[in-house]
């Protein structure tokens, strides 16, 4: 009898009975793959509870206790911040990122602090136990309550968890784990989903906090975090360039907290070090008296962060000028270029324009509009922006400046880092006290902002 097969989308995990070039759920192209599907994997063979297994009864919501969510610290303040104040007991956390970015280092490094009050089981399918020992020694992780095992079988992992009864389970990585009852290879969509479902039942049934590591490529299209995002409680992405030392951890999904917090780390010889002041890190090495650069202040969760926006506008002879943005929304950059030409009087349509955010940040809030416009105008006019100036504000299609939220917190961070001038919208809600040593320059449109920020060369 021919085995039954199903088709899965590697982008969203949607199941479909036949192949299609475009996923009907998420609309992604060329993401449908064929995988063998067994009755057990589909969930049809295990509908009845096993003999002797306890039967869970539904309870009225009024009888549930509100303090059942138990948090504990991981020992890293930046990781606790992204998780919403610490890890939650019985939760399933997925840590995704490109291979070699530092996910395994982060997970092994927090074991030293976790083992002070918890038993931790670290299951690795990529390294031997001897390799884990060498890496733990380099990271200075030495604890008798840290148990390590090299295992790729799901059954073996569950047996080890039942024998050791850990409080925290770390699986590195989900792509190497496989279930022998499925015919598909390890790392396939069906294997990844089945193994993650088993880990979720382990976490919820026994109250074990499970951290799962998943690899993604640049497109995020392989079987892994993109398929599992709807199954887990928290999805954390570890981002950064392998050629630089800084890493950014951000939450894409969090059932127990906000998703707009970030954690910043620096990779060193002895592991990851927390960067408690990311603004200083992002502004380090900033060139002075160089046209095409401006500083802004954005909110990452409850934390104000100063970021440097660099722009380059050069004349072009091509019919269609090139537009490129890195860390800044492409469509918003195109809109700001159009506003700059129409309302600012600068002929940027005849120039190739490039925008770049230093440090790997992704600026997705409108408060960075004014700094982007000033950086583009600075490069076009070849006039430098004063090194002690910060620009904050949203730009409208008529060239007007709109107020942004949490302006007082942004200004306090600007003053703390030693800047003496700050461009802000004249139209804002409420009174804003002017901090000592910081001059607030109120502007109504981009024309006033460009004249105030770009001093003519003497």
CB burial class (10 A; 0-12, 13-18, 19+) of residue 323? middle
Backbone φ, ψ for residue 263 (5° rounding): -125, 140
Q: What is the pLDDT of residues 68-106, one digit of tens each?
A: 568 899 999 999 999 988 999 999 999 998 888 899 999
Q: What is the pLDDT of residues 259-280, one digit of tens each?
A: 878 898 998 888 899 988 888 8
Confidence of residue 156 (pLDDT cuts 50, 70, 90): very high
Q: Are strands 32-36 and 389-391 parallel, antiparallel or unpaired?
A: unpaired
Can you give the C-alpha Rg of the chain in angstroms? 26
Confidence of residue 47 (pLDDT cuts 50, 70, 90): very low
Alpha carbons 217 and 219: distance in angstroms, whole number:
5
Q: What is the pLDDT of residues 374-386, one digit of tens each?
A: 999 999 999 999 9
Question: Between residues 43 and 151, which one has the greater pLDDT?
Answer: 151
pLDDT number for residue 39: 42
pLDDT number for residue 270: 85
| Coil, strand or helix at 66 | helix
Tokens of 429: 């809600």
CA distances from 343 to 348, 352, 373, 381 (A): 12, 19, 11, 16
pLDDT > 70: percent of the chain: 89
Alpha carbons 251 and 258: distance in angstroms, whole number:
8
Consecutive H or E run containing 411: helix 407-416
Question: Is the pLDDT reported for residue 219 higher than 60?
Answer: no
pLDDT number for residue 314: 94
Burial 206-240 (b: 16+ CB within 10 A, else e): eebbbbbbbbbeeeebbbbbbbbbebbbbbbbbbb
Question: Is the pLDDT reported for residue 159 higher than 60?
Answer: yes
DSSP, res 188: S
Backbone φ, ψ for residue 140 (5° rounding): 60, 45
Confidence of residue 186 (pLDDT cuts 50, 70, 90): confident
Alpha carbons 237 and 106: distance in angstroms, whole number:
12
**Average pLDDT value over all residues in the chain:** 86
Mean pLDDT of 166-171: 96
Other CB atoms within a 10 A radius of the CB of residue 427 amount to 13
pLDDT number for residue 332: 96
Q: Are strands 351-357 and 303-315 parallel, antiparallel or unpaired?
A: antiparallel
Q: Which residues contact residue 60 at a Cβ distance below 8 angstroms, ignoring those fewer than 6 apart?
A: none
Backbone φ, ψ for residue 315 (5° rounding): -60, 150
Nearest in space to 428 (alpha carbons), one of 440, 416, 415: 440
Q: Which residues contact residue 85 at a Cβ distance below 8 angstroms, ignoring those fewer than 6 apart?
A: 71, 257
Alpha carbons 107 and 74: distance in angstroms, whole number:
10
pLDDT number for residue 446: 95
Question: Is the pLDDT reported for residue 369 higher than 90?
Answer: yes
CA distances from 97 to 219, 232, 241 (A): 11, 16, 11
Question: Is the pLDDT reported for residue 126 higher than 50?
Answer: yes
Confidence of residue 66 (pLDDT cuts 50, 70, 90): low
Give the start-end residues of each E strand in 240-370.
246-254, 262-268, 271-274, 293-300, 303-315, 323-326, 351-357
Question: Is the pLDDT reported for residue 458 higher than 50?
Answer: no
Is residue 85 left, alpha or beta, with left meaning phi > 0 and alpha meaning psi from -120 to 50? left
pLDDT number for residue 212: 95
Q: What is the pLDDT of residues 292-346, one digit of tens each?
A: 999 999 998 778 999 999 999 999 888 889 999 999 999 999 999 999 999 999 9
Of the candidate ranges 2-11, 112-121, 397-406, the one whose mean pLDDT is the lowest: 2-11
Question: Is the pLDDT reported for residue 129 higher than 80?
Answer: yes
CB burial class (10 A; 0-12, 13-18, 19+) of residue 71? middle
Q: What is the pLDDT of residues 193-212, one digit of tens each?
A: 899 999 999 999 999 999 99
pLDDT number for residue 154: 94
CB 160 within 8 A of CB 121: yes
């Amino acid at each position: 009898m021919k085995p039954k097969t199903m088709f899965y989308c590697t982008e969203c995990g949607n199941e479909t009975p036949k192949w299609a070039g475009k996923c009907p759920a998420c609309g992604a192209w060329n993401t449908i793959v064929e995988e063998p599907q067994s009755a057990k994997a589909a969930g049809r063979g295990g509908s009845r509870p096993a003999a002797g297994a306890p039967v869970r009864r539904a309870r009225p919501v009024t009888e549930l206790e509100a303090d059942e969510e138990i948090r504990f610290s991981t020992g890293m303040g930046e990781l606790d911040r992204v998780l919403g104040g610490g890890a939650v007991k019985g939760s399933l956390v997925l840590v995704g990122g490109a291979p070699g970015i530092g996910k395994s280092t982060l997970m092994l490094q927090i074991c030293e602090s976790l083992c002070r009050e918890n038993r931790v089981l670290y299951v690795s399918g990529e390294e031997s136990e001897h390799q884990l020992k060498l890496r733990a020694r380099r990271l200075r992780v030495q604890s008798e309550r840290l148990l390590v095992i090299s295992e790729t079988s799901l059954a073996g992992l569950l047996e080890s968890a039942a024998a050791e009864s850990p409080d925290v389970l770390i699986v590195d990585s989900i792509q190497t784990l496989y279930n022998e009852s499925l015919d598909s290879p390890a790392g396939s969509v069906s294997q990844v989903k089945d193994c993650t479902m088993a880990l979720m039942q382990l976490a919820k049934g026994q109250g074990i906090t499970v951290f799962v590591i998943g690899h993604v490529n640049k497109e995020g299209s392989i079987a892994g975090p993109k398929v599992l995002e709807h199954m887990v409680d928290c999805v954390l992405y570890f981002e950064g360039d392998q050629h630089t030392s800084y890493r950014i951890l951000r939450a894409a999904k969090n059932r127990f907290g906000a998703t707009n917090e970030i954690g910043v780390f620096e990779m060193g010889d002895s592991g990851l070090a927390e960067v408690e002041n990311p603004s200083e890190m992002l502004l380090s090495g900033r060139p002075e008296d160089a046209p095409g650069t401006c500083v802004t202040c954005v909110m990452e969760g409850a934390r104000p962060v100063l970021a440097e926006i660099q722009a380059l506008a050069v004349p072009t002879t091509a019919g269609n000028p090139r537009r490129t943005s890195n860390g800044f929304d492409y469509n918003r950059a195109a809109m700001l270029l159009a506003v700059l030409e129409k309302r600012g009087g600068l002929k940027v349509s005849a120039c190739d324009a490039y925008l770049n955010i230093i440090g790997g940040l992704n600026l997705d809030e409108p408060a960075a509009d004014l700094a982007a416009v000033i950086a583009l105008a600075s490069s076009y006019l070849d006039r430098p922006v004063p090194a002690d100036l910060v620009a904050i504000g949203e730009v409208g299609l008529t060239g007007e400046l709109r107020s942004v939220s949490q302006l007082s917190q942004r200004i306090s961070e600007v003053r703390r880092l030693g800047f003496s001038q700050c461009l802000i919208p004249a139209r804002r809600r409420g009174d804003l006290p002017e901090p000592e040593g910081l001059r607030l320059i109120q502007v109504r449109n981009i024309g006033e902002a460009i004249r105030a920020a770009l001093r003519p060369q003497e």
